[in-house]
Structure 1
């Protein structure tokens, strides 16, 4: 069971890294406190999905990389060309589609 009361977001990121074995690069602007109450046990995969949802609720997103994943404010992701994590069931994925043979206006 997972009960987080007023936990620092960076502390949660450290915990997720230990549990999942994932490496994270954390943007200096990542700050906040987390409150989560769970009445059922969750496995490591569910824990990571919950983590992604928590980040999203706080305005952050995980940009997956080969060896390291970056945790950035959502506003910064439009300039990043790497894969944005789609592991959370409620994540939003933005894709740029080039326009061909159509007037841009």
Structure 2
């Protein structure tokens, strides 16, 4: 009886211990898109470069308008100029939007 109790207790203890997750997954942070980050750069520098990238700003302002069923550039030219985006960069973004709409129209 005493041996059976010890065996059952040890089995329960081993089961309880084996259910604990002792390993930690080490997941590295993926690099930010559209950035060339040197290994010597600090994270704050990389974030700053990403946040001040004018092309990235314009790309993030391209949205899909579900009512019109097409892509739109959701910033006016004047607002773009106010944040330091040149007229040429704005026109290039409009061309990208037109190409996206053309491709979207072909697939619909």
Is this a same-fold pair by TM over 0.5? no
For normalisation by structure 1, the TM-score amounts to 0.25
TM-score for the superposition, normalised by structure 2: 0.24
Higher helix proportion (structure 1 or 2): 2
Greater relative contact order (Cα < 8 A, sep 6+) = 1
* Structure with higher strand content: 1
Which has the higher Rg, Structure 1 or Structure 2?
A: 2
